[in-house]
Amino acid sequence: MEFIEAFFGVIGDLTWGWSLIPILVVFGLFITITTGFVQFEFFGRMWRVLSSNNNAADPNAISAREALLVSVGGRVGGGNIAGVAVAITLGGPGAVFWMWAIALVGMATSLVECSLAQLFKRRTRENECRGGPARSIIHGLGADYKWLAVIYAICLIAAFGLGFNAFQGNTVAGAVEDSLGISRLWTGIGLAIVAGFIIFGGIHRIAKAADVVVPIMAIGYLLMAGVVILINIADVPAVFMSIVRNAFGFEEVVTGGMGAAIAQGLRRGLFSNEAGLGSAPNVAATAEVRHPISQGITQAFSVFIDTILICSCTAFVILLGDVYVPGAEGIDGVALTQQSIVSHLGSWAQYFLTAAILLFAFSSIIYNYYLGENALTVMTESPIALNVFRVAIMGIVFLGAVAPGATAVFFFSDPMMGILALVNLLAIMMLFPVAMRLLKDFRRQLKAGVARPVLNPDDYKDLDIDLDAWKGTAPAEAS
């Protein structure tokens, strides 16, 4: 066991330790510059998805809005509450600035990876669309690269399907026990049953659940943070300036100064918004949209919501209060966020935060499950294997909830996610000319006056795309 832990420790050091974060940053900057700052060019279009309806021929198809909410529900989790607090504790207020920076860069990366997942999606026998980096590798790079897709799929199942779901179960059970005094056992049973009901319904039930849960949790949390900011509106400019000064080393508040701020901000930002890690494209591919870039724009918006909006709310709640003491040790993580909210709004707020954590974690569980399911279907489409996996997810959630130390068993999650990200970035790099081709087509249609560009499958017959998955689209000139 010690050898296995050491082995995964080496993998973690080789990925997250020194190579992966710089690669993600450089890669994001490369995409941003090469695409002409596409995330800013289409920023106005991102907001339209919030009021969009399902325009697919099949009324039961997954809409762009539902795919957005599933991905937001997955990106938004404990990292938005506990992770931001850890970043500030270890990196100071300046870490928030670098979280913003990596999110703005990551929006371009997410747009590209999710657009590729859309283009190479496949329609299943159940009339659902499936896609993601694994299928982009197989159908974009060719069957000779299936081994790379299998590595990706195994890492996705291990990291998200198993490890992170145990962590989410543990987070929920701990928060409920601390604030409400309810035993971890009962929380674990309830969480496993509800999760099982939703995941056994497949992506359609997952999407419908996210359509209800995510707006409630996101809007509720934003409103609560908004109240805190309004109460302390006079102090907001000073807090903002403190973030900027500390980000560039003009204000030393923690050991490591500017270096600690950059390291913590980039690391926590990447963990939170997942841009470039290859997870969100699996959900992006399920949507029925007119053009792959449209879903790429939508998923870039998901990164904005996760980090620029929700993570910022947590940061200002902490920095506007008096619980956080720069450089002090002791209180951090979710406890820092919780006590900061209580200091602003009173003791009732801790129950609100517990409810938020419950919803955040639950939405992440069903999102993580779908990522694992989608990866499993790359290797086998056996209904028996799928149902065994669903039962296993219920067991993993329960195990994570009832055993406070259970998450230590899943020490492989971060290293597996590191390999996952490297495989995904390699695939994006090799398929980047295809992404640029899609972007050029999208811009050409906009320039020609087409308000809602449409993919013409005939223009991509040289690629291995599933024409059946795009049967509802037509040339833009005829739409």
pLDDT at 237 over 90: yes
Query: Using one digit for the tens of pLDDT, what is the confidence trace for 139-183?
Result: 999 989 999 999 999 999 988 888 888 878 877 787 788 777 888
pLDDT at 122 over 80: yes
Q: What is the chain's length?
A: 479
The mean predicted confidence, pLDDT, of the chain is 83
Q: What percent of the chain has pLDDT over 70?
A: 87
Q: At what angle do helices 257-273 and 236-247 cross, to 10 degrees?
A: 110
Query: Using one digit for the tens of pLDDT, what is the confidence trace for 408-447?
Result: 556 677 788 888 888 999 999 999 999 999 999 999 999 9
Which helix (H) or strand (E) segment holds residue 292: the answer is helix 292-303
d(CA 68, CA 252): 39
Task: Name, in order, each residue with C-beta under 8 angstroms of 261's C-beta and a sequence gap of 6 or more.
Answer: 91, 92, 93, 94, 95, 97, 98, 246, 247, 249, 254
pLDDT at 59 over 70: no
Query: Using one digit for the tens of pLDDT, what is the confidence trace for 261-276?
Result: 887 788 777 777 788 8
Distances (CA, A) of 434 to 152, 212, 240, 415, 439: 20, 35, 40, 29, 9
Q: Specify the range with the lowest mean pLDDT, choosing from 200-204, 239-243, 298-302, 366-370.
A: 200-204
Phi-psi region of 276 (alpha: psi -120 to 50; beta: other; left: phi over 0): left
What would the mean pLDDT of 28-41 be, rounded to a whole number?
A: 93
Which of 46-50, 236-240, 466-470 is most confident? 236-240
d(CA 287, CA 295): 8
pLDDT value of position 332:
60
d(CA 81, CA 202): 28
pLDDT at 81 over 90: no
Please give the biggest Cα pair distance in the chain: 64
pLDDT at 35 over 90: yes
pLDDT at 477 over 60: no
Q: What is the pTM of this model?
A: 0.86
